[in-house]
Amino acid sequence: MVPYCSTCASSTSCTTCNSSAVRFTDGKCYLCSISNCSMCSSNNVCSTCNASTFLVSNLCKTCSQIIPYCSVCSSSTICTTCNSPAVRYTNGKCYLCSVSNCTECSADNVCATCNTNTFLVANVCKNCSNMVPYCSVCASASSCTTCNASAVKYTDGKCYVCSILNCLSCSADNMCASCSSTYFLVSNQCKTC
């Protein structure tokens, strides 16, 4: 019988130890003093850590213990999810990046990727409305998908306040391209029948 064993492989070897013990490489169960270790050698050297922990210098450490500001990592050196307000750098580490709206930095305070609907311009993540005036949803840093309610989208992908009454879209400044429903385009004006 093997002490601390819940499932034996033989009279001298264990396959599953009870919850208070860990299986050592010699097939026996012992109380291992290394926290989060699932398999130790008989001389208390950890060879395998529990899930979500990584073996570093004979200790089983969590992501946040290995990589500062990290909540989820794929290895002991690569973080996949950083704790807010930290951002993930391209090197797999987490840092506090001072660039507003930045989701990934390539080096200290050099932004590589911005939040949704913000665009990287000279290491600053600019909001869509700052890039394309009167725009609420941008397709790119220079083209709009959806204009604010007070503006119309021109064929160049920009938004302008069109002064032509009942005009739905303008092709150039004060040149109406199409009118709202029940209106018809006549000599650059939207008129009813």
The pLDDT value given to residue 108:
65
**What are the Cα distances from residue 47, in Å, to 21, 30, 64, 82, 131?**
15, 14, 21, 27, 54
- The whole-model pTM stands at 0.45
**What are the residue ranges of helices labelled H in the chain?**
63-66, 128-131
What's the mean per-residue pLDDT of the chain? 83
CA distance 31 to 24: 9
Where does the pLDDT of residue 185 fall: very low under 50, low under 70, confident under 90, or very high at 90 and above? very high
Which of 159, 123, 122 is CA-nearest to residue 139? 159
**Tens digit of each residue's pLDDT (9 = 90 or more) over 121-180:** 888 898 888 888 888 888 888 888 888 877 777 778 888 777 888 887 776 567 888 888
- Asked if 177 contacts 169 with a C-beta cutoff of 8 angstroms, the reply is yes
DSSP string, 151-164: -EE-TTS-EE---S
